[in-house]
Amino acid sequence: MQTEPDSAGHLRIGELSRRVGVSTELLRAWERRYDLLSPTRTAGGFRLYGDEDERRVRRMLKHLGAGISAAESARLTLTEPDDPGPGVLAETPPRGMIGGDLQAALDRFDDAGANEALDSLLATFSVETVLRDAVLPYLGELGRRWERGEVSIAQEHWSSSLLRGRLLGLARGWGNGGSPLALLACVPGDQHDLGLICFGLALRRHGWRIAYLGQDTPLETISETAAEMRPALVMLTATTPALAAAAQAGLANVARSATVALAGPGASSELADAVGARYLAGDPVTAAATVARGPAGS
């Protein structure tokens, strides 16, 4: 069920969880152990959380990201002056500073450190900024380092797996609502879906709903799902030209009955023209903004 702010600006816990990137279980634990949150209750007994609760969670994450214990982070959060406004986030990070702690933690297989660094980034910057200026640059550089033999397959898999789990955590509820629907999938044989997840998260921030089929999706499945769900856009990605070329006939079939966009390193404007699709260049956050600016497929 979709959870939206009520007229007083209050949120159900699921919507608060989606906004701040913290699980509902952890939010309830912080409320129970530290009185961090101060919800009101509806006549039906549902808890509703306000702007101050959201600000407190973001301050809590910032302290945790600095290495402070949970109990001390909660104490500091509750005794600090209020932030200047609800949900105020820095949109433009200092050049060369964002993501350094995240990369260092990922490089040393530090699960806790990587999660803390990512929590700190999400508490300080918008989701789009974290994706564009920290996660995507790290993934690109990780791939180049792997190609040069500077990191192991284990390092690449471990870092990608951790980031994928966190990004899908942020994606909870992205299919809710009555807004335009985008159906996302990787072409057959393509196992690299992190860029596609980033696209979905960014497009969700523009008000779209997301239906996610994920890695290595048969084109017949994409066609059948599109016929059933009738999305405003079918977004397909390919990381290599070979995978894109192998899917060309199937892509053309999908595009005959749905509005299709192609993206990823393996896609091209030539292929898009050949199959009757739209080509989306640039990083996934930029591509999502391009889709949001105009009618799908234009």
Higher pLDDT residue, 211 or 28? 211
Q: 4-8, 26-30, 49-53, 153-157 — which is least confidently predicted? A: 4-8
Q: Please report the pLDDT score of residue 7 as a whole number.
A: 39
pLDDT band at 84; cut points 50, 70, 90? very low
Question: Which strands make up the sheet holding 278-279, listed edge to edge?
Answer: 209-214, 181-186, 233-237, 260-263, 278-279
The DSSP code for 88 is: -
What span, in angstroms and rounded, lies between the C-alpha atoms of 60 and 36?
Answer: 9
Dump pLDDT digits (tens) for 103-155: 899 999 999 999 988 988 888 788 888 898 899 999 988 888 888 888 899 99
DSSP string computed for 167-179: HHHHTTTTT-SSS
Contact between 247 and 187 (Cβ < 8 Å): yes
Q: Which two three-digit tokens encode residue 50?
A: 């306000």
Question: Which of 144-148, 152-156, 203-207, 288-292 has the weakest average pLDDT?
Answer: 144-148
- pLDDT value of residue 65: 66
Q: Specify burial of residue 69 (Cβ count, 10 A radius: 0-12, 13-18, 19+).
A: exposed
Does residue 199 contact residue 184 with C-beta atoms inside 8 Å? yes
Element containing residue 279 per DSSP (H, E): strand 278-279
Locus of tokens 């994409």:
222
Give the DSSP letter string of 9-39.
Answer: S-B-HHHHHHHHT--HHHHHHHHHHH-----
Q: What's the pLDDT at 295?
A: 59
pLDDT in tens, 156-166: 999 999 999 99
Domains of the chain: 13-79 (1.10.1660.10), 100-170 (1.10.1240.10), 181-293 (3.40.50.280)
Residue 93 has pLDDT above 70, yes or no: no
Give the model confidence (pLDDT) of 213-239 as tens digits.
999 999 999 999 999 999 999 999 999
CA distances from 34 to 19, 27, 76, 120, 123 (A): 21, 10, 11, 20, 19
pLDDT number for residue 144:
86
Report the distance separating Cα 67 and Cα 62, nearest Å.
9
The residue written with tokens 């702007």 in the block is 51
